[in-house]
């Protein structure tokens, strides 16, 4: 869409003029403004403009929804108002703005960090679905060309995974008002291929995770620190980036004069990277090592396995948020190398499926909102088939909370039955296709007693339990007043979508359609059949319009 100077003048006038603009920037679809006097912002009049889809006020920030071409409008807006020559606003220098930023909740902050990365998370999920058949075939058939295809596909998958973690560092710096380029460089350093990701760790029989992890010998005989990559550690990378922004702010208080361009970048990047490598990463590895020992004991003890195993399964989804799920990967790899399967693998499969089902249920619950349908259904499909749940968690789970709680409840009961029935999971995909892992019984050396009926039967029952309880729990939680009101507010703020109003209009439309349809109930002439067809098509078209399709 093309925008003219008149469009810019209208928006400028309706936000209170150039002098009322404290800061202006844009995201993928919205022009975002922080204003000095909120009373000068005329939301109702702005909504009437042809090129505006809606107006939102969130955390003291005014957002005008323009669409995917917002960047063109932004450039013209800045050019005509001379805003491109204004210095970048320093959050530390504006007390009122700083207060607004401090009032942001953790969930709002996380939501803003991941907003520009959602499209990549969705792409990862879809790509994992596409590559899954090749992955399965390459593992079942000994064909060199299939293995080569799988390696190529894996290269693309790992590349996108790297980008998400690096992108998180960039986005965190951007949201907090830091220099985004610092975040990019820090992310690249901490995801460097010279470092070892936990998922790539090769643990030999009798080795501990600490012994298997490569390390530097820069302190002589003391092998420290370990060469730990931050690949897949999303929330830890957010923590690293937050630390980097604070270091940058401290540097801004130091009078460096003309040396700032030389000293500040090196100081911020090196300090943040070194502190992360020397402290944050080693603490995570120590946690992983002791966690491995605890798992081996608690999952095999006759009493603790009924308590610990379902709890771990239920907590796997929240662990993904903080990157702690990577701590389980070495344990699974060790089990697969030794037993060609793992008890923990089943927990992961149930968790992934329940997260996908809860996300799909959420999308169905608010199906009248086109944006929600698109996000929830596409992400749920990738989670269900490919077992890639990060898009579900970051786009729905964290933001709306109760779908994640519903998934946790479903996973808990599915894992409880899984443990009690003595089900074993051989190496298998992490999504719904993981049921093929129940086809092989547990090695006799483990002493696992499976209930009568066999491994596959109780594995399927456990999966059905997980799916049904996740769906029911999510629906019931959505009816709770707190979650319902919170979700309605978020949908209004994010998408300018009034759920109750649209639902009422859809209901009225359905009622009218049924009444009109009854006129032809007993008539079978060609003209009546044709009219019924036209009526149905018109009804579907009107429903789509209401739902934003």
- pLDDT value, residue 464: 97
Return the structure tokens found at 332: 């699974």
356 in the same domain as 244: no
Q: Could you identify the residue written with the tokens 């909740």?
A: 105
Residues identified as active-site: 27
* Distance, CA of 170 to CA of 89 (rounded, Å): 18
120 in the same domain as 213: yes
Q: Given 289, 313, 337, which residue is the final one in a domain?
A: 289
487 in the same domain as 528: no
467 in the same domain as 381: yes
Whether 88 maps to a domain, the answer reads no
- pLDDT value, residue 90: 41
Q: Given 223, 256, 289, which residue is the final one in a domain?
A: 289
State which residues form the domain around 74.
5-81
Whether 299 maps to a domain, the answer reads no
Whether 100 maps to a domain, the answer reads no
Whether 198 maps to a domain, the answer reads yes
The dihedral through the CA atoms of 85, 89, 93, 99 has a sign that is positive
Whether 90 maps to a domain, the answer reads no
DSSP class of 440:
S
338 in the same domain as 470: yes
Return the structure tokens found at 295: 């798992």
Q: How do the residues of the chain divide into helix, strand and coil, expressed in percent and rounded to 5?
A: 70, 5, 25
Q: How many domains does the chain have?
A: 4
DSSP class of 443:
P
* Distance, CA of 420 to CA of 448 (rounded, Å): 10
DSSP class of 394:
I
Whether 97 maps to a domain, the answer reads no
Q: ω before 199 within 30° of 0 (cis)? A: no
- pLDDT value, residue 248: 94
147 in the same domain as 33: no
245 in the same domain as 163: yes
455 in the same domain as 329: yes
> In whole angstroms, how far apart are CA 162 and each of 322, 324, 334, 481?
16, 17, 24, 39
Whether 330 maps to a domain, the answer reads yes
Spatial contact of 225 and 216, defined as CB atoms under 8 Å apart: yes
pLDDT tens digits for the chain (549 residues)?
678 889 999 999 999 999 999 888 887 677 888 898 888 999 889 988 888 877 877 667 788 888 767 888 888 998 888 875 433 334 344 444 444 444 455 656 766 787 777 677 667 756 766 776 787 788 778 888 988 998 998 899 888 878 888 998 999 998 888 999 999 999 999 999 899 887 787 777 667 777 888 888 888 888 788 888 888 777 788 889 999 999 999 998 888 888 888 899 999 999 999 999 988 888 877 776 677 667 767 877 788 889 999 999 999 998 887 767 766 765 675 566 567 678 888 999 999 999 999 999 999 999 888 888 888 998 899 889 888 888 888 889 988 999 999 999 999 999 999 999 999 888 677 889 889 889 888 877 777 889 999 999 999 999 999 999 999 999 999 999 999 999 988 888 777 777 777 778 778 888 887 877 777 666 667 777 777 778 888 777 777 666 655
* Distance, CA of 139 to CA of 185 (rounded, Å): 36
Q: Among the residues of 84-233, which ranges form H helices?
A: 95-102, 106-114, 118-140, 144-175, 180-190, 209-212
CA 260 to chain centre: 36
370-386 and 118-140 helices, crossing angle to 10°:
20
* Distance, CA of 60 to CA of 83 (rounded, Å): 20
326 in the same domain as 357: yes
413 in the same domain as 372: yes
Q: Given 18, 47, 81, which residue is the final one in a domain?
A: 81
Q: How many residues does the chain have?
A: 549
The backbone torsions φ and ψ at residue 368, rounded to the nearest 5 degrees and listed phi first, read -75, -10
73 in the same domain as 29: yes
- pLDDT value, residue 93: 40
427 in the same domain as 521: no
**DSSP string covering 262-318:** HHHHHHHHHHHHHHIIIIIHHHHHHHHHHHHHHHHHHTTSTTTHHHHHHHHHHHHHH
Q: Is the overall model pTM greater than 0.75, yes or no?
A: no
CATH code of the domain covering residue 77: 3.30.1360.60
Whether 446 maps to a domain, the answer reads yes
């Amino acid at each position: 869409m093309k925008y003219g100077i008149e469009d810019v003048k209208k928006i400028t006038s309706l936000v209170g003029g150039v002098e009322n603009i404290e800061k202006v920037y844009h995201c993928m679809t919205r022009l975002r403004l922080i204003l000095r006097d909120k009373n000068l912002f005329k939301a109702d009049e702005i909504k009437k403009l042809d090129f505006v889809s809606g107006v939102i006020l969130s955390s003291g920030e005014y957002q005008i929804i323009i669409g995917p071409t917002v960047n063109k409008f932004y450039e013209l807006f800045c050019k005509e108002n001379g805003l491109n020559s204004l210095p970048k606003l320093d959050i530390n220098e504006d007390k009122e703005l700083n207060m607004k930023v401090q009032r942001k909740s953790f969930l709002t902050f996380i939501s803003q960090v991941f907003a520009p990365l959602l499209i990549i998370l969705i792409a990862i999920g879809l790509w994992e679905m596409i590559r899954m058949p090749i992955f399965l075939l390459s593992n079942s058939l000994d064909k060199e060309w299939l293995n080569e295809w799988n390696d190529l596909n894996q290269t693309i998958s790992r590349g996108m995974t790297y980008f998400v973690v690096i992108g998180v560092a960039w986005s965190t710096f951007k949201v907090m008002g830091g220099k985004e380029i610092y975040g990019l460089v820090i992310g690249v350093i901490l995801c460097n291929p010279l470092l070892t990701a936990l998922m790539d760790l090769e643990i030999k029989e009798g080795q501990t995770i600490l012994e298997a992890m490569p390390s530097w010998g820069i302190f002589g005989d003391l092998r420290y620190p370990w060469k730990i990559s931050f690949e897949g550690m999303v929330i830890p990378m957010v923590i690293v980036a937050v630390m980097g922004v604070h270091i940058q702010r401290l540097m801004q208080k130091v009078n460096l004069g003309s040396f700032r361009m030389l000293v500040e970048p090196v100081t911020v990047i090196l300090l943040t990277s070194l502190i992360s490598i020397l402290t944050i990463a080693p603490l995570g590895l120590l946690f992983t090592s002791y966690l491995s020992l605890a798992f081996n004991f608690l999952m095999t003890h006759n009493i603790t396995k009924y308590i610990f195993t379902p709890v771990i399964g239920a907590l796997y989804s929240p662990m993904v948020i903080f990157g702690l799920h990577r701590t389980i990967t070495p344990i699974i790899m060790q089990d697969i190398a030794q037993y060609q399967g793992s008890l923990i693998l089943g927990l992961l499969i149930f968790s992934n499926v329940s997260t996908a089902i809860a996300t799909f249920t959420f999308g169905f619950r608010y199906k009248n909102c086109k944006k929600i349908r698109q996000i929830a259904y596409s992400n749920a499909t990738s989670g269900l088939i490919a077992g890639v749940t990060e898009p579900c968690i970051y786009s729905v789970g964290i933001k709306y909370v109760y779908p994640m709680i519903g998934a946790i409840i479903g996973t808990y009961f599915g894992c409880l039955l899984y443990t009690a029935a003595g089900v074993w999971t051989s190496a298998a995909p992490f999504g719904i296709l993981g049921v093929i892992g129940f086809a092989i019984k547990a090695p006799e050396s483990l002493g696992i007693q499976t209930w009568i009926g066999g491994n596959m039967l109780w594995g399927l029952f456990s999966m059905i339990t997980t799916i049904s309880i996740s769906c029911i729990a999510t629906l019931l939680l959505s009816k709770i007043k707190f979650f319902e009101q919170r979700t309605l507010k978020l949908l209004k703020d994010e998408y300018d979508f009034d759920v109750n109003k649209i639902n009422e209009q859809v209901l009225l439309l359905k009622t009218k359609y049924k009444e009109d349809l009854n006129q032809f109930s007993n008539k079978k002439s060609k003209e009546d059949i044709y009219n019924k067809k036209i009526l149905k098509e018109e009804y579907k078209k009107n429903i789509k319009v209401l739902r934003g399709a």
